């Protein structure tokens, strides 16, 4: 809690990177105010969050988008108004750096040994990453440079006292080694076939290549990238039942894991929340134009509907343009927000 403004500056807000800055906070305040325009609740952007003034005279400071939507929903009443396609609330902020979190593939398979989230992420981490299991066992290198051993010095008296070695007669009688015929002149060496003519040892049968492809998670290319995303291969989490899969979704939506990982897809589950996500966007009829100016309306509408439980038994996703070729990629499954990231440079396509 910040002592100056009373705003919780924790990292629990999934929308924090896109609502940072005065302009984005003002756009979000306008979008929340338009959900229930008949109420007399006033929302004002402040440093690090928003100030919600209730009709009864009380006020509350909200530091996250979730807190803001919850406060306005509790303080206001009346029907919800659709987004006016002619009145965008404003664009969101565009994070300057790409997402560095790890993607997770969640697989339901009762016949495979389970692998939990912590194990999957530690095995996928780079060897230099502190999360890698071998990092702790690796001894620290001595920063001091290694010095070569110095040769032992002998004094002049020692050199003088050393007797000269007398030549042996048998050594003088040996023929000169130069008189030996050259090894290159041997005909058998030239008769050997070239090494390049031998079959390659690394050539693997087709069955080995097929087994190697089957061992990769679905959607991964041979180069270790996720098909369609152009990113590193995801971590694989395996659970025996769909109930266990729901627990993993809840963990991914928690602050501890939301900052480290995001869900790529679900495999092996037949529930509606595990199916291909349906596209979601702003509330509007006619539909809201796919423009960056409606970014605040989209994220407010998603969080509002999520808190009301509209996504509890299903899966929805949205990719919204942020400007400059960047896209906001958000996915909600079973009511849990399990992915929120920025796709830069056209690495994703619109749903």
- Nearest Cα neighbor of 37 from 295, 303, 283 is 283
pLDDT band at 283; cut points 50, 70, 90: low
What local confidence, expressed as pLDDT, does residue 12 receive? Answer: 59
Mean pLDDT, residues 275-292: 78
Structural contact between residues 328 and 342, judged by C-beta atoms closer than 8 angstroms = yes
pLDDT band at 125; cut points 50, 70, 90: low
What local confidence, expressed as pLDDT, does residue 141 receive? Answer: 46
Q: Would the pLDDT of 15 be above 90? A: yes
Integer-rounded Cα radius of gyration of the chain: 34
Query: What are the residues whose beta carbons fall under 8 Å from the beta carbon of 27, sequence distance 6 or more?
Result: 89, 90, 91, 92, 295, 296
Query: What are the residues whose beta carbons fall under 8 Å from the beta carbon of 38, sequence distance 6 or more?
Result: 78, 79
Residue range 327-345, pLDDT digits in tens: 999 999 999 999 999 998 7
Distance, in Å, from the CA atom of 338 to the CA atom of 33, rounded to the nearest integer, reads 26
Query: What stretches of the chain show up as alpha helix (H) in DSSP?
Result: 22-33, 65-75, 117-124, 156-161, 169-173, 187-190, 206-214, 242-253, 255-258, 295-307
Mean pLDDT, residues 204-230: 39
Q: Where does the chain show beta strands of DSSP type E?
A: 42-46, 49-53, 59-62, 102-108, 235-239, 261-267, 278-279, 315-323, 326-333, 336-343
Cα dihedral across residues 118, 124, 129, 133: positive or negative = positive
């Amino acid at each position: 809690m910040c002592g100056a403004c009373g705003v919780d500056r924790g990292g629990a807000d999934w929308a924090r990177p896109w609502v940072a800055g005065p302009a984005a906070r003002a756009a979000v305040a306008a979008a929340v105010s338009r959900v229930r325009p008949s109420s007399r609740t006033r929302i004002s952007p402040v440093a690090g969050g928003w100030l919600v003034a209730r009709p009864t005279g009380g006020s509350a400071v909200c530091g996250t988008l979730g807190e803001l939507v919850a406060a306005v929903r509790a303080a206001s009443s009346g029907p919800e108004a659709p987004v006016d396609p002619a009145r965008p609330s404003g664009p969101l902020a565009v994070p300057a750096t790409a997402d560095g979190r790890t993607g997770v593939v969640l697989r339901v398979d009762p016949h495979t040994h389970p692998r939990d989230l912590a194990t999957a992420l530690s095995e996928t981490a780079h060897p230099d990453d502190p999360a890698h299991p071998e990092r702790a066992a690796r001894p620290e290198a001595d920063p001091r440079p290694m010095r070569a051993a110095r040769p032992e010095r002998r004094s002049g008296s020692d050199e003088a006292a050393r007797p000269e070695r007398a030549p042996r007669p048998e050594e003088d009688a040996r023929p000169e080694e130069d008189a030996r015929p050259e090894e290159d002149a041997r005909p058998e060496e030239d008769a050997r076939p070239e090494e390049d003519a031998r079959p390659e040892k690394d050539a693997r049968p087709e069955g080995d290549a097929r087994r190697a492809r089957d061992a990769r998670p679905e959607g991964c290319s041979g180069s270790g990238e996720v098909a369609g995303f152009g990113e590193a291969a995801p971590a694989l989490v395996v659970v025996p039942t769909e109930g266990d899969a729901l627990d993993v979704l809840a963990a991914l939506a928690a602050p501890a894991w939301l900052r480290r990982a995001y869900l790529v897809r679900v495999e092996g589950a037949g529930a509606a929340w595990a199916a291909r996500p349906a596209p979601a966007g702003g509330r509007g009829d006619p539909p809201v134009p796919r423009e960056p100016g409606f970014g605040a309306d989209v994220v407010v509408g998603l969080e509002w509907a999520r808190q009301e439980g509209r996504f509890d038994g299903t899966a929805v996703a949205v990719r919204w343009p942020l400007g400059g070729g960047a896209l906001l990629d958000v996915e909600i499954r079973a009511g849990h927000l399990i992915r929120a990231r920025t796709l830069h440079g056209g690495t994703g396509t619109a749903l």
